[in-house]
């Protein structure tokens, strides 16, 4: 009998759910809107419905399913399975998601911070295959990450390890969404790139970014588009993006000494524009011994990283339960 797990990627705007087999193949995948403003009960109802729907579409019954894995925004207590109060899930305060899903499915439930789950996914099925000491970094509106040490996800005391976007790179830097100042994410995320562009324009920099953004708020994509058109200011901003990423990467390399780092997230769609600068700064700043045998690559799972990570967490809990 083929056995499966379910992976659920719970996000602020969508719930993606998959059925994965033992070979790591996604047999079925569906996406529902989160409609987060309706609150936890309605959202969990849609998560449950999505699980039944993938089973139905794949014609797989409940007996063939071994576990359910969930990747969710933090903060959380991964061990106890409690979601604390994620900024993009309004009304979720101390929600015992693991227990709620157990009551529904009577299956082992794994709950991981989404970036940690993504690290597991990339390590098992993507760019980090065979890396024993692996790090996954996502650069999009924020910066997040996950660390695998000796083949195991490094969770920290309550599942919130590797909040690497909130490591300080300038102690007098701009205020970050977390309340601290000068976080890596406040310098090198996609939102930071857009913010820097806006500041420059406000100070009188003439740039094609203004026309490209038109009446919209400036986004990282607009900066990248202008840079590809040869716009000087946009090229300067993208160069700085690579610089700030390299500075933070050196911190990570010195802290964790990984053998492989995979970088994903929306900003990496433009990998070729900033990666040379990023790697140059990283090599300048990291300890030489920690750079030996280090591979830094673009993550390969793309938009499936969330569900594959959640499913990887489900396989992981099966493995632990069998020990």
| Shortest Å distance, C-beta 165 to Zn ion | 6
| Shortest Å distance, C-beta 75 to Zn ion | 13
| Shortest Å distance, C-beta 259 to Zn ion | 28
Residue (91 or 174) nearer to Zn ion, CB? 174
Residues linked to residue 71 through DSSP beta bridges, in sequence order: 9, 112
Nearest Cα neighbor of 40 from 93, 77, 112, 81 is 93
Contact footprint for Zn ion (CB under 5 A): 166, 176, 178, 180, 183
Residue (116 or 189) nearer to Zn ion, CB? 189
| Shortest Å distance, C-beta 173 to Zn ion | 10
Strand order in the sheet with 109-113: 26-33, 14-21, 4-10, 65-72, 109-113
**Which CB contacts under 8 angstroms, 24+ apart, belong to 249-253?**
249/137, 249/278, 249/281, 249/282, 249/286, 249/296, 250/281, 250/282, 250/284, 250/285, 250/286, 251/167, 251/169, 251/184, 252/135, 252/137, 252/145, 252/164, 253/282, 253/286, 253/287, 253/290, 253/291, 253/294
| Shortest Å distance, C-beta 143 to Zn ion | 9
Residue (183 or 209) nearer to Zn ion, CB? 183
Residue (42 or 178) nearer to Zn ion, CB? 178
**Which secondary-structure segment (H or E) carries 66?**
strand 65-72
Residue (113 or 127) nearer to Zn ion, CB? 113
């Amino acid at each position: 009998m083929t056995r499966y797990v379910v992976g659920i990627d719970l996000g602020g705007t969508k719930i993606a759910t998959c059925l994965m087999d033992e070979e790591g193949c996604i047999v079925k995948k569906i996406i529902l809107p989160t409609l987060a403003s309706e609150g936890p009960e309605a959202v969990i109802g849609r998560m449950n419905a999505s699980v039944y729907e993938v089973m139905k579409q794949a014609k797989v019954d409940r007996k063939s399913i071994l576990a359910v894995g969930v990747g969710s925004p933090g903060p959380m207590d991964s061990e106890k399975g409690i979601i604390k109060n994620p900024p993009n899930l309004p009304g979720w305060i101390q929600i015992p998601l693991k227990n709620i899903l157990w009551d529904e499915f009577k299956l082992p439930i794994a709950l991981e911070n989404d970036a940690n789950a993504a690290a597991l996914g990339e390590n098992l099925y993507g760019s980090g295959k065979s890396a024993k000491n692996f790090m996954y970094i996502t650069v999009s509106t924020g910066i997040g990450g996950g660390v695998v040490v000796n083949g195991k996800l490094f969770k920290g005391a309550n599942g919130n390890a590797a909040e690497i976007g909130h490591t300080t790179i300038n102690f007098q830097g701009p205020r970050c969404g977390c309340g601290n100042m000068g976080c890596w994410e406040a310098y090198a995320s996609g939102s930071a790139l857009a913010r820097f562009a806006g500041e420059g324009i406000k100070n009188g920099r003439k740039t094609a970014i203004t026309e490209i953004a038109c009446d919209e708020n400036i986004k990282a994509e607009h900066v990248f588009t202008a840079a590809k058109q040869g716009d000087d200011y946009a090229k300067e901003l993208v160069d700085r993006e690579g610089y700030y990423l390299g500075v933070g990467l050196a911190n990570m390399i010195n802290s964790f000494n990984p053998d492989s780092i995979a970088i994903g997230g929306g900003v990496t769609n433009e990998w070729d524009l900033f990666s040379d600068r990023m790697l140059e700064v990283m090599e300048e700043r990291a300890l030489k011994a920690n750079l030996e045998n280090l591979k830094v690559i673009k993550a390969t799972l793309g938009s499936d990283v969330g569900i594959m990570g959640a499913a990887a967490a489900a396989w992981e809990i099966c493995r632990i339960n069998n020990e």
